[in-house]
Structure 1
Amino acid sequence: MTRILIADDEYFVREGLISGIQWERYGFEVVGQAENGKQALEKIKELKPDILITDIKMPVMNGLELIREVRSLGLQTAIVILTCYSDFEYAKQAIKYGVHEYILKLSAQPEEILSVLNNVKEKYLTGGNNNKSGGNRLASFDAIDFKEYDKLWPGYVVVFKHVDTQMKYDAELIDGFSKIFSECKNEIFNCKHGYIAFINCQSESFVKALCSKLCNNISFRIFIGISELCSQPGKAGEMIEQAETAAGHYFYETGQNIFLHSCIKYEYVKFKNDEAQVLSSLEGFDEKALLEYSEEMFNQIKGVKPSYYISYCIEFLFLLVRYFRKNDITILPEYSNLDLLFKHFTRFTSMSEVKKEVIGIIKQLLNEFRMNSSQYSLVVARIKKIVDERYQAELKLEDIAGELNMNYSYLSNIFNRELGQSFKEYVNEVRVNFAKEFLKQGMENIYLVSEKVGYTNPYYFNKVFKKLTGMTPGEYRNKYTRI
């Protein structure tokens, strides 16, 4: 097995890489992960991976510093960097430290990642081409995307995203672009979800006006993102990312088609799911509480980058998925792991679609939960078990709520709703049932029976017993010992 270590400060990037590929099937093993360069360096020293996959921009110690440290220690670990368009200048620096390959972070698919890693494995780990620079691929990326188009700067980068991918629409878009943008020098390239264009023009309003004219002259809807002014070739990668970010703002369904990066301000929200609240609602089959929680989450995260919005929603759903897996409850395959959830949500392009899907998944998971559970919710079943096992001790629902990390009032309500009686009434019922068994066995001392089933006051025990059976403990014992 070829051993891999993954370093990236984004949790979902690491988890996506780890869970998105059946590594062992292809001869690889992920032996560790790290959220910053310093942590990665320690794990490299300890685990001795064959390949390091590392992000460039990380806290504490960035990717370049990590690569430099690995090489200064004389370690022969092959290095693959995760890069974005805006990281390209850093990527060129990384060549000096013996980087072997790169993976484009925003668009790489599992088969592309495996292709890169197999190439590294073949060339650098099994005695193939031992050239450690790995620079050819990066150089060609540089030449294709930037250097050939220096003549177009200063100018703007424009991204055109289309919802429908039919070829006839592509042809119509290119034809319309060629006619309308002929007033400016330009180049246009096909990309994964549409087109990227470099426009030689210094007026943002003029570029926007041309884009508006294009929208009015084609028969289908597109979303357009316009970068800020790019004045030098070295900034081209950053401008592409700006235009991509701007075009992605259609997620919030503002009614617009054209988005200027200079006008977009995303909120920074550090949202953390309340796992205890989510799981207590799940265990109580409380669909209303889960939907109210999700609506509160939607309100808190509105305004963040679309990718973050989706990540927060997936993190919330994955709390439920993890709980199901922990309790061996079968769920639909497309929700069974983090990578599949991410793939599932790539089909949705707007906030309303994402919200609708999250709510739909909550309802589906709850339905699966009900079908796989007993007549009582798991939380009520756990309380019943605690009472059955500890009936001899002092029992308070407040204490059990604390033990289960749940709200007392909420716990009391669902217990009453499912059993049709209060917690205190249920405890008395359990204790009296045990007392009846002891009395049938001929225990003479009523005080000892009272104490044995958890009552410290024999007079109160006598009162409760008579209320539930219609007889005093003595009368009950005499009735059954005479038989």
Structure 2
Amino acid sequence: MSLLKILIVEDEKLAREKILRLLQWENYGFQIVEAARNGAEGYDAFCKWHPDIIITDIQMPIMNGLLMLAKIKATNPAVRTVILSCHENFHYAKEAIRLGVDGYVVKDFVSPDEVLSVLVGIQKKFALQTGVSEPVGRIQVAEDKGLQQARNLVDALRGKRSALQALHAFHQTGQMFWLLKIVLDEHAQLTDLSNADHSAHPHALRIRMIQEFERNFQATVAYPCPGEYLVLLGMAGARTITEEAASAIGTAHGVISESCACSLTSGVSAGFLTFSALKTAYKQAEEAVRYRIFLGKGRVIHTHTIQQMVFLKPTQIEVKIDALRTAVTTNDIERVFAGIKALYAPNFSGMLHYHYVKYVNAQLITILLQYCQQTNRPLRDIFGCNYVPFEQLDALETVHDISAWFEQAFRKLAQISSERIDQLTTNKKIRKALATIHEHYAEDLTLDGIAATTGAHKVYFSRLFKQELGITYYDYLTRYRIEKAKQLMVEPSYKIYEIGRMVGFRTYDQFCNAFKRITGSIPSEFITAN
């Protein structure tokens, strides 16, 4: 393949010079044709050189990068583009996505590996278009041996000494190893494929993945759980881990794309020489994948990249989302609104912010959909139509507007919860009691206490409650708690005894007995079945 021509457009002299010195470009199949100082010069250089790839800043004098790209794309939609993202606002980052950029590099974290990782991915696209591919070493391994090595890799991560010894015996000594965790970003699509198509079956995909990797790499591939692959990659040649990882992702994508369209995100560990470091490498690769919250899906994320991003904490984001989900389950609308504000409060740089907001949007939409499913409510009750109006969300230009859109959706959800009480009874005392139960069900709600809130004697209240709803107060309270417990069980974040306490049961046994009496199964059986 001939050298791919690259045009650099960057207004800061030091940044331009840093990019020019970053790599021995020709060694990797690229040629820098010019380094322009602003969008106007960049457009002129594009007309002169007709480059294959443009690497551009966004905020520049005379003509910014987005205006330049829009003008260039109108002339040549096929040109590949990479954004140098820094401190531009959310609107700029969103507009860059609309223009169809192929990748981005955060200016603060520019490194040879980061730039090369993006460019090698683009290089692969050109290779697929032209039918040209780089020659790679081939290792033929029988299918059954591949499956055995896959089991050895998983068992080694679990600490089995015999599996570690088997990996040592199989792989060459004296070479460097890396562990890749490859995640199918939309792996649910695979489960929807027809089992009649054997090539789409997860086991068939697993075999194909093993065959392709062992044919093209010094690698062991494992399938620890649906939607994930682990690749133990050995290297003794002159290629860099960035090139090898990009090639590995290309191979995985080729196998998966035969069955469905699904982007892949890969986390790459630091290199290691002995398998005693395997568990550490797995933790590094796993943590790298989590940073797709900020860096976006479909990327190869190296562990040394996220080490420069210590101010970003994916686990903190997940904790906030879990707290919001719990607030929805417990009908605590004030905590819901506070949770939404907290999630949209961070203001990261450029593309990091765009991908973060996109991730949060997806999580909140999921919470709303789960509520509709669990309560058998039509989407129209929340969104005003029988589908999720993504076009409304996509049209919003600021994070403030997006936050307000979700606040309105969750406010409608709260209104629905209130309307459900109105539908159960017209009696004001019982309505008040139900509102108290729905808001404070996790607390110690005695018959005396709940009757007192309505101003009625407990005997009269008890008779009135059963007359209005057809069941006793304690039976209703228990059933309501069990329904809330079932909603919490769809999340793997909580243990059974924790869920019992969260919905108001004092002991584990009390919770399990009540759950079986009402549902016919114990909590663990319910979780397995659902």
TM over 0.5, shorter chain: no
User: Could you tell me the TM-score, scaled by structure 2's length?
Assistant: 0.30
When Rg is computed on C-alpha atoms for both structures, the one with the higher figure is 1
User: Could you tell me the TM-score, scaled by structure 1's length?
Assistant: 0.32
